[in-house]
Amino acid sequence: MAYQRRRQHYYQRFRVVIPVFSAVAAALLFLFALLSFLAPSPVETNRMHLKRQHTTISFREDAAIEHPAFLVPRDGGKLGRDIWTSRNSEHFYGCSNSSNKFQKAQVITLPNRYLLIATSGGLNQQRTGITDAVVVARILNATLVVPKLDQRSFWKDSSNFSEIFDVDWFISHLSKDVKIIKQLPSKGRKPLSAYNMRVPRKCNERCYITRILPVIMKKHAVQLSKFDYRLANRLDTEYQKLRCRVNYHALKFTSPILGMGEKLVHWMRMRSKHYIALHLRFEPDMLAFSGCDYGGGEKEQKELGAIRRRWKTLHRSNPDRARRQGRCPLTPEEVGLMLRALGYGSDVHIYVASGEVYGGERTLAPLKELFPNYHSKETIATKEELQSFSSFSSRMAALDFIVCDESDVFVTNNNGNMAKILAGRRRYFGHKPTIRPNAKKLYRLFLNRRNMTWDVFASSVRNFQRGFMGEPKEVRPGRGGFHENPSTCICEDSTAKVEKNSGSRKHGKDSTTKRNASNDEPDVDNEAEWPEMDDDDDDQNDLADKGTFNETFSDYDAMNFEDPDLEEIISD
């Protein structure tokens, strides 16, 4: 009986406690549910953490949630080398003086032979024509009349030669090489008239002697129209060195352009000891020509398609194929990621030379997030300071040319004339770093970057960019365009060469190979691009001898343009 009474007592007490436990459990469950509802998700928490600690970049606006971006270190990564100079560049220097065998202009120039040229395209395309015209005048033993600049092309710039270049310096500096005058002399009371004609592209010395010399001997004055890339890439050494004397010494901008350009450079230097200059080339016309896709969907296809329809000869190509072939400009975001992978941190100042960027601020936002210190001539100079230049495309291009040329690192996003000329000029004056994206390799990396860590991505970028950084001997002598690779005009210090050769024998490898192998990343086999061959080259078998050098050619050289405006948009 006593046992039953105790059992009943405990049972009654248990019945009283059960509701209490239930109430407490319900309250805890409710509280947990409330906290779960109010607290951010793990993905959102992680994203907030990334935003505080790192710069996060998404390729497309709708891709961030599906594929969270990897971390981009603010310092760009420690590479253990100087990212602002080229390796062994101190052993190389520009050398374009003529030999004793190169006779003076007063000796070889014959009377009643006058050569005139009409240039074509924008500033840098015209610059190649002016440089080549001096050599052609020398080949023909003729007097050169100061070249006419193209004032009717797509660029619609009314500037003449003396408004862009110092004409008196041009004439005097080349006086020992070629006789140059400002205008045709008069014949009696009438001015001498020039016979107009055109020569094929890449016409060599023999071509000019057989095609033009008989005409100039008969007519006395000949004007060659649309004079761009009308001289062969490969010439006699003396002619190549003359090209360099013209391009790198005789063609000097006028004082107003130089003065404003130097101000822009000074203002960039005031902001930082080093700066990068980027020739972005992400204008609507450029993208329409490329036929590539940039993640803008149907809206982008309609807009770029409408631009393409302006030219009957320009049809939409396969965007995936163009991307695989490396013919698509990198997006501003991709350029920024490439530079960060190469070791340039978020504190680096970057000067962007560009026209209207497709997509405007929305397109530029990822680049500016990677490099907040973003500048252009419009942001560092006032409208009043640029007023005398802003109505002339060539003068504005000249300002960008100066700032890019003076930069510690120059980055080009295409293979147009400005990129080529600056690459050659920077090689000639000390091999200052000039970065050209290895677009063939990088495109696959950008497509798959969500599936890898930053360290793997950055290491791959550095591997793929070997041979595309403007360092000595990246391009085999004589290959590529001469304006881009003026190898004839670049000499190597003899003492340094002896020391380097002895080091090569010690390691049993070529010095170039040794330098590449000493990098902090494993060596890779970069794809060599096809060299640009001249029409007059006899040995076509050179095409098979590609080696492992970075052979370059313009993305547009192979195109047969029927619309001159289209060619001028793309090439400059």
DSSP E strand stretches across 302-408: 349-353, 374-375
Arithmetic mean of pLDDT over the chain: 79
Rounded Cα–Cα distance for residues 213 and 518 (Å): 53
CB-based contacts of 65, cutoff 8 Å, min separation 6: 43
Q: Which residue has the higher pLDDT, 308 or 509?
A: 308
Residue 32: the pLDDT is 59
Task: Note the pLDDT of residue 447.
Answer: 87
In tens, the pLDDT along 319-355 reads: 777 777 788 889 999 999 999 999 999 999 999 998 7
User: What is the dihedral sign for C-alpha 476, 481, 487, 490?
Assistant: negative
**CB-count burial class (<10 Å; 0-12, 13-18, 19+) for 15:** exposed
Task: Report the alpha-carbon distance of residue 529 to residue 558 in Å, rounded.
Answer: 13
Q: What does the domain layout of the chain look like in residue ranges? A: 89-94+256-282+329-490, 105-238
User: What pLDDT is recorded for position 506?
Assistant: 37
Give the CA diameter of the chain: 151
Q: What pLDDT score was predicted for residue 532? A: 37
CATH (residue range 89-94+256-282+329-490): 3.40.50
Is residue 40 within 8 Å of 48, Cβ to Cβ?
Answer: yes
Q: Is the pLDDT of residue 412 over 70?
A: yes
User: In sequence order, what E strands does 188-334 have?
Assistant: 190-191, 195-197, 221-224, 275-279
Asked if 243 and 157 touch (Cβ cutoff 8 Å), the reply is: no
Contacts of 314 (CB under 8 A, 6+ apart): 288, 289, 308, 563, 566
φ, ψ for residue 12 (rounded to 5)?
-65, -40
Range with the lowest mean pLDDT among 387-396, 448-457, 525-534?
525-534
Encoded tokens for 217: 């001997």
Q: Which residues pair with 176 in a beta bridge?
A: none
Q: Count CB neighbours of 190 within 10 A.
A: 7
The confidence band for 398, taking pLDDT boundaries of 50, 70 and 90, is very high
Interstrand relation of 409-412 and 221-224 (parallel, antiparallel or unpaired): unpaired
Question: Is 535's pLDDT higher than 60?
Answer: no
Half-sphere exposure of 535 (CA within 13 A, CB side): 15
pLDDT in tens, 242-292: 999 999 999 999 999 999 999 999 999 999 999 999 999 888 888 888 778
- The answer on pLDDT for 19 being more than 90 is no
125 φ, ψ (degrees, to nearest 5): -65, -40
Per-residue confidence (pLDDT) for residue 57, from 0 to 100: 40
What pLDDT does residue 52 have?
A: 34
**279 vs 64, more confident:** 279
Going by the DSSP 8-state scheme, the letter that residue 231 receives in this structure is B
Range from 143-157, 474-488, 503-517 carrying the lowest mean pLDDT: 503-517
In sequence order, the β-bridge partners of residue 410 are 277, 434
- Beta strands of 424-517 (E only): which ranges? 434-435, 490-492
Read off the pLDDT of residues 183-212 as tens digits, 9 standing for 90 and up. Answer: 999 877 787 899 999 999 999 999 999 999
- Decide: 561 and 510 in contact? Cβ < 8 Å: no
Q: How far is the CA of 503 from the CAs of 204, 251, 292, 508, in angstroms?
A: 40, 40, 46, 8
Planar angle of CA 77, 78, 84, nearest 5 degrees: 95
Q: Is the dihedral of CA 247, 248, 249, 251 positive or negative?
A: positive
Statement: residue 516 has pLDDT above 70: no
pLDDT value, residue 524: 34
Assign 316 a pLDDT band (cuts: 50, 70, 90): low
> Region 504-516: what's the mean pLDDT?
36
Question: Looking at the whole model, is its pTM more than 0.85?
Answer: no
Q: What is the pLDDT of residues 476-490, one digit of tens each?
A: 887 888 999 999 999
pLDDT (tens digit per residue) in 101-111: 999 999 999 99
Residue 218 is given by DSSP the state: H
